[in-house]
Structure 1
Amino acid sequence: MKLLLPVLLCSLIFNGLKAQKIESFPENDPKLSFAKNEIKPHLGKYQVQLIADASLVRKVCADNQLPAPKWDADQCYAIRRKGSQVWVLSSNALGAMYGGLDVAEALRVNHPGWLNASDQKPYLPERGLKFNIPLDLRTPSYTDASDAAQANIPEVWKEEFWQEYFDEMARHRMNVMTLWSLHPFPSLVYIPEFPEVGLNDVWRTKAKYDDTFSHNADGWDRPYLYEDVEVVKKISIQEKMDFWRKVMQMADDRGIRFYIFTWNKFTYGAEGKHGITDDQTNDTTIAYFRAAVRELVKQYPLLKGIGITAGEHMDNKLTNDYRKEKWLWRTYGEGINDGLKAAPREDFRLIHRFHQTGLADILESFKGLECRLDLSIKYAIAHMYSIPNPPFTLPAFDLLTDENKSWLTIRNDDVYSMRWANVDFARQFIGAIPNVDKIAGYYMGPDGYTWGRDFLNKNTLKDPPLVFKKQWVSNMIWGRLSFDPTLPREVFDENIREKFGSSHTTALMKAWEPASMIFPFITRFVWGDIDLKWFPEANFSHRKYRSFYTVDEYIKRQPMDGSAIAGIDQWLHDPKAAETLRSPLSVADSLEKLAQTALTHLKKLPAFSSTDQSELSQTSSDIEAFAEVGLYYANKIRAAYSLARYDKLSHTADQQQSLDFLKRAEGHWNNYATIYSAKNQPALYNRVGWVDVNALKEEVKKDYGIVKNWKPGSITYKQQVTTEKPFKK
């Protein structure tokens, strides 16, 4: 750096920017090279310089009489312009890359005015994804008992998969990738003290999973899964380590910070070797975990941290050195310290999920940790697409400090197959996050689906796209707004216009945005907190709870805390409900308005087909599907309301009205099923089980029999009481 800087300064002084149209310093930094490659096709008359060096920034600003950047911290940057000369100024390569991507965007969508002076710093410093990684039959993640995970096992062992993924993430300003696994170590590290644990090759079963697998991930090594196994990749454990080092380097080249999360305590892939068991009091197992964590830290210098859970498979009754937090300290805490001693670095973190544990116990147990300790809380439980200000974690914020900040786990177990886009909802959601100064960042993603390649759409199976790329508008919205919540709406509109054409964008967005609000409205009414209890694409839950939600079940549902909506039963029996709560019928009216607005504007777009693979056609088809299922939900609520009135008042007119609404609902479900099934094949999801939207037509019809055979007075009203579950101090 010291030798190159004078040379570059001389170049700037004597040659200015005229020698090249685009320059960067450092010249060969991969982040800056990525930004340059994004800019080059659209450069035109402009001369651009990307600078990632504080001293050079000061020199350029002085020589060219440019205002100095406001901020010089991580990811911060400034853009300055004089005529056709544009400077991106930052003290770090990631900030300069983001500024370069801003320049590329402005030129690509032909908005040079966006190049005028601006200064940027991240609103949420860490912005990323939660990816349940299907590594191998022998080292499963929570999502592995599903079709999507099984199809993606070969994909996650391909370099090109990750290169495409990280490029897309960088474009949307996402800078964190978290891989989640029950017990990843046998697929990731060789441990000298436990040499038999490291797994060669990548296995996948040819047997079929079903929906009987434990939702706590117990017993996921059923013998029948091993009776017919295919090796999807021949690779030694040492080569696996080389592979993941390359993947982490790819991530780092795009400014993406790599984390590995585990649930505890699982021993898949290691069970029975060297005396390892899943017994929490087994000292050999403790020694093994500590060594595995040490090797993970030691062998992957670009790994930024490890996330852990004190739950799922841990014994809450043990005390002393084997209690949960002490066990985690003896394994992960000591292992991290060992690894950092062998391979020191200052930016490593342990992220301890605030789940089935207490803060005092965490802090006491990990007081000897030689790295930063963060927490993690589930912000909207399993449904980010509900209300923009979920209240569930508010008590936890009082426990957070500047030293122990929290990450937000933002679960999207709402939208798997359809494209979502609503700028206003995302802006409200991000703006409503409380105590931002206590938030490290977030990771967003599903537990019930694998965000790898899209093997759900049966029309693209020969060349399946990344789910992340299929949902590019949604990811652009969330990534860009969490970096800058004030980003003008015009930025999103112009990116969409550039993709779909100016003649379609206005109508498309006027259809797409209301359609995208249908799931938030129905989910806040038919609330099921965890993913097992509610999947809005299919009016469905795991059979343990209900399977297909029938019309009488809609009467009983308690809407989401914080939604200010009354349930049907409450509305009809509690005279005070109307004073503070919204009526169920108003929710139905909102759903219908959203759906009809979407359908009205769809008519202004070119004709489309669910099987046409053009992106405009596929997006239009998704909007239509949202609208049709929204109309189903609107009429289902009305049918349930009329049935509840019939139960209370015994008026046969209410019973008939319920049947009439069910008839309308059935028509809309049939339309929805036709659209959905033309694109998507039936699939097994690890949380709700087997979903076949077309086959659910038969379940829709069963509501008629429920209403026809209903006996008034069957419902006994019980006032719903919300019981707050406080976080342990």
Structure 2
Amino acid sequence: MSESMYDTVQFDAVTDEPAIAFATDRLRDATIRSGLGWGTGGRQPYRVGLTVEADADADRQGYRIDRTEGGCTVIAGGRAGALYGLLRIAETVRADGPAAIADEQKTPYLPYRGIKFNAPLDARTPGYSDDGDSAAAAVSDLWSFDFWRSLLDRMATERYNLLSLWNLHPFPSMVRVPEYPDVALDDVMVSDVRPVAHTTGVGMVDKRTRESLRTVATIGIDDKIDFWRRVMAHAHDRCIEIMIFTWNVFSYGTDHTSYGIDDRMDNPVTIDYTRASVRALLRTYPLLAGIGITAGEHMDRSEHGARRNQAWLRSTYGAALQDIAAEQPDRRLRLIHRSHWSDLQEVSSVFDDVGLPAEFSYKYSSAHLHTTTEPPYIHRDGFLDQLPAGARFWLTVRDDDYYLLRPGDPAFVRDYLRRLPSHARLNGFYLGPDGYTIGREQLRLAPTDDRELVFDRQWYLFAMFGQLGFDPHLTDGYFRDRLRVRYPAADPATLDDAWRAASMIIPAVNTFHFEGNKFDLDWYPEACLSHPRQRHGFHTVHDFIAATPLPGSGLLGIVEDCRTGGADGIRPGEVADRLDRAATSATAAAERLRAAADPELIELLDDIVDLAELGCYYADKIRGAAATHRVIAGTALDEDARQQAVTHLENASDHWARYAGRVHRRYRPQRLSRLGGRMVDLRDLQHDVDYDITLARAVGYDEHR
């Protein structure tokens, strides 16, 4: 029988395991979408078998696919391996049919591939970005089981097995604390007013937000508990663990009580309440895998405060974990210590008697994933040298570069993951933004019947990290197949070329405009902005002159280039030329695809062209900044350089106008948390963009003349 003649896919295993049932549903869907029949009754069926090995030494996530006569068998080390093996078969059937299924054996490259999700549970128990519009839009979603079912299903499909939920102080919205029963909050409330918060989380609830509260869901605390138990059970059925991360010390959601709870570290009521709350959380949710804690942002930042902070965390979280260990000695729990503002050896010493393996977390790319595939910070900070013997670690992979548009470069992600340090001690990563809540899409101006998941809008980024985190050897052909299935009207090679070229732009800008722009409040590249109060807002040509490139990148900053004449390195003008070439390539490839595109593809092509226009803006801004500095550095006014600067910055202004106009024909402006809750309308920044031209005209003259 010719393999090309299969007319049916038949799954021969019978199981009531939810993870396997889910994967079977995905295989059935892929089979039907590929035009084949499903189940028994076909003349020439392709038969898929499944064996789950009981061997305790088998990797629980690993699997082997063995081709057989007229089919194949998945041999898995556990239910997760069965899930991933069957999903792999489903992907192949959907892309190329069952005849393309090949022998393969896989174990995960990283044990954990996770999502970082800032969780705004309620305006009274906010997340860390509730002064932005995305958080406010997500509150109702977080209390919808359909939302979590969809997200967890999609996470499993892309090989994620950890969901980390981050909230400043989640306990009043999630548990009933026996010792402090009045803390528990009924209902779900939002505020129509955004708080005026600090980036430490202070002020995330204020007088104005309290006065504008309104109820979006009527639900008692017991029903809330049932809700989150159901979410965690569904996660378990998709082989996904859930952890909760907190910042400290916060007491949001307790101000309606008379217990005397507040944010003071020396308040014995707060210490006892926090310990009781953590204990209640772990008792209430037996499927909760653990807790992550932060020695900040609202703790003692004085010279001698570090040990005091750890002692507080030990007396609250550490003590609560000991309480649970005494009650449930067979339960496996994690306690992850976030490393910033902490001495790792001191943490290990203070928590030594808690009885849990030492685990630490590091912000690997700081806030800017899309800069370099080998971020320097973990080596600058000496994190790996400080890591205690026997301790394992996690990497927080922060993507605060893209709040509007969408990256798509598998080569960047593959190289990023392959270069992760100290792999033998690395548990994995959790990926996501800090200044944006990845709930449901809320930016489109065009009306839609259904708000898609941000995970689906950014599907390619999440697919790349999840799939390559499991198997970094996946080829470019695999990702082009994914593009072909998602966008059947497009030539996948052309689309791949366009998306990769556009995705080079922000990393190129971030690498050039690097030092001093480490954090999300320092730099937001889609808008050329920083925090307007804690930093200085729009980045002018003078900021581009002052900032130096990523060390080791081979790039010369503007000042160094002018000083040395570009003797040893890649000059700013060459960086600008690279940006222009990437923009030209991306635009040309995108436009070749437009004629046959459906609405979903057109939206993606528009994003690609928008990125290209942004790249052209930065190219001319860099040229304009370089020419401006030549005027500054000259012994006499260089009028030719001044005119060059003005011309380049006028061109940059034109590119910005086109970029802003294109973006806001499709997407609404939004308030962004890491920009102080500022409403970011790219069109309104035209005045700042044009002021760069004025700065170039005025440079070298007495500014008060």
* TM-score class normalised by the smaller sequence: over 0.9
Tell me the CA shift for residue 315 of structure 1: 1.6
- Equivalents in 2 of 1:194, 1:318: separation in Å? 34
Aligned 1:139-538 pairs, distance under 5 A: 139-209=125-195, 212-271=196-255, 273-317=258-302, 323-394=308-379, 395-400=382-387, 403-460=390-447, 463-501=450-488, 503-527=490-514, 528-538=517-527
Tell me the CA shift for residue 608 of structure 1: 8.6
The one-character-per-residue Cα deviations of 1:270-298 (angstroms, maximum 9, x if unpaired) are 24541212111111111111111111111
Q: Is the 8 A contact 2:132 2:194 kept in 1?
A: no
Q: Does residue 88 of the first structure (1) align with residue 74 of the second (2)?
A: yes
**Aligned with 2:592 (options 591, 601, 604):** 604
Q: Is the 8 A contact 1:297 1:340 kept in 2?
A: no
In the alignment, which residue of structure 1 is the partner of 2:48?
48
Q: Secondary structure at the match of 2:272?
A: helix
The one-character-per-residue Cα deviations of 1:169-190 (angstroms, maximum 9, x if unpaired) are 1111111100000100111110
Q: Secondary structure at the match of 1:410?
A: strand
Q: Secondary structure at the match of 1:119?
A: strand
- Equivalents in 1 of 2:650, 2:121: separation in Å? 46
Q: Is the 8 A contact 1:320 1:326 kept in 2?
A: no
Q: Does residue 569 of the first structure (1) align with residue 559 of the second (2)?
A: yes
Comparing 523-532 and 154-163, the one that deviates more: 523-532
Tell me the CA shift for residue 359 of structure 1: 1.2
Q: Is the 8 A contact 1:402 1:438 kept in 2?
A: no
The one-character-per-residue Cα deviations of 1:597-640 (angstroms, maximum 9, x if unpaired) are 1011122112499xxx8210010000000000000000110011
In the alignment, which residue of structure 2 is the partner of 1:68?
none
Q: Does residue 557 of the first structure (1) align with residue 547 of the second (2)?
A: yes
Q: Is the 8 A contact 2:49 2:73 kept in 1?
A: yes
> Structure 1 residues 208, 377: closer, same or farther in 2, change over 3 A?
closer
Q: Does residue 583 of the first structure (1) align with residue 567 of the second (2)?
A: no
In the alignment, which residue of structure 2 is the partner of 1:60?
none
> Structure 1 residues 713, 226: closer, same or farther in 2, change over 3 A?
closer
Percent identical: 36
Q: Secondary structure at the match of 2:573?
A: helix
Kindly report the root-mean-square deviation, in angstroms, between the aligned alpha carbons of the 2 structures. 2.2
Q: Is the 8 A contact 2:338 2:361 kept in 1?
A: yes
The one-character-per-residue Cα deviations of 1:520-554 (angstroms, maximum 9, x if unpaired) are 11111122100001111111111132212122221
What is the one-letter code of the residue matched to 1:648?
A
Tell me the CA shift for residue 317 of structure 1: 4.9
Q: Is the 8 A contact 1:199 1:236 kept in 2?
A: yes
- Equivalents in 1 of 2:370, 2:532: separation in Å? 23
Q: Secondary structure at the match of 1:54?
A: coil
Q: Secondary structure at the match of 2:593?
A: coil
Tell me the CA shift for residue 346 of structure 1: 4.0
Tell me the CA shift for residue 29 of structure 1: 0.5
What is the one-letter code of the residue matched to 2:333?
F
Tell me the CA shift for residue 428 of structure 1: 0.9
Tell me the CA shift for residue 556 of structure 1: 1.1
> Structure 1 residues 500, 461: closer, same or farther in 2, change over 3 A?
closer
Q: Is the 8 A contact 1:131 1:179 kept in 2?
A: yes
Q: Secondary structure at the match of 2:674?
A: coil
Tell me the CA shift for residue 207 of structure 1: 2.4
Comparing 38-47 and 588-597, the one that deviates more: 38-47
What is the one-letter code of the residue matched to 1:651?
D
> Structure 1 residues 462, 207: closer, same or farther in 2, change over 3 A?
farther
What is the one-letter code of the residue matched to 1:588?
A
> Structure 1 residues 710, 331: closer, same or farther in 2, change over 3 A?
same
- Equivalents in 2 of 1:273, 1:181: separation in Å? 23
- Equivalents in 2 of 1:328, 1:208: separation in Å? 30
Tell me the CA shift for residue 401 of structure 1: 5.5
Tell me the CA shift for residue 112 of structure 1: 3.8
Q: Is the 8 A contact 1:197 1:273 kept in 2?
A: no
What is the one-letter code of the residue matched to 1:123?
Y
What is the one-letter code of the residue matched to 2:49?
Q
Comparing 366-375 and 168-177, the one that deviates more: 366-375
In the alignment, which residue of structure 2 is the partner of 1:8?
none
Q: Is the 8 A contact 1:294 1:337 kept in 2?
A: no
Tell me the CA shift for residue 332 of structure 1: 0.4
The size of the alignment, in residue pairs, is 674
TM-score (normalizing by structure 2):
0.92
In the alignment, which residue of structure 1 is the partner of 2:528?
539
In the alignment, which residue of structure 1 is the partner of 2:663?
676
Q: Is the 8 A contact 1:468 1:475 kept in 2?
A: yes
The one-character-per-residue Cα deviations of 1:539-586 (angstroms, maximum 9, x if unpaired) are 1111132212122221111223443322101211246x733x322112
What is the one-letter code of the residue matched to 2:107?
K
What is the one-letter code of the residue matched to 1:335?
A
Tell me the CA shift for residue 674 of structure 1: 1.5
Structure 2 spans left out of the alignment, 5+ residues: 1-7, 37-44
Q: Secondary structure at the match of 2:479?
A: helix
> Structure 1 residues 320, 231: closer, same or farther in 2, change over 3 A?
closer
> Structure 1 residues 318, 433: closer, same or farther in 2, change over 3 A?
closer
What is the one-letter code of the residue matched to 1:53?
E
Aligned 1:627-638 pairs, distance under 5 A: 627-638=612-623
What is the one-letter code of the residue matched to 1:145?
D
In the alignment, which residue of structure 1 is the partner of 2:682?
693
- Equivalents in 2 of 1:320, 1:447: separation in Å? 25
The one-character-per-residue Cα deviations of 1:631-671 (angstroms, maximum 9, x if unpaired) are 00001100111111122232211111111111221221111
Q: Is the 8 A contact 2:344 2:388 kept in 1?
A: no
- Equivalents in 1 of 2:97, 2:314: separation in Å? 53
Q: Is the 8 A contact 2:490 2:596 kept in 1?
A: no
Q: Is the 8 A contact 1:24 1:32 kept in 2?
A: no
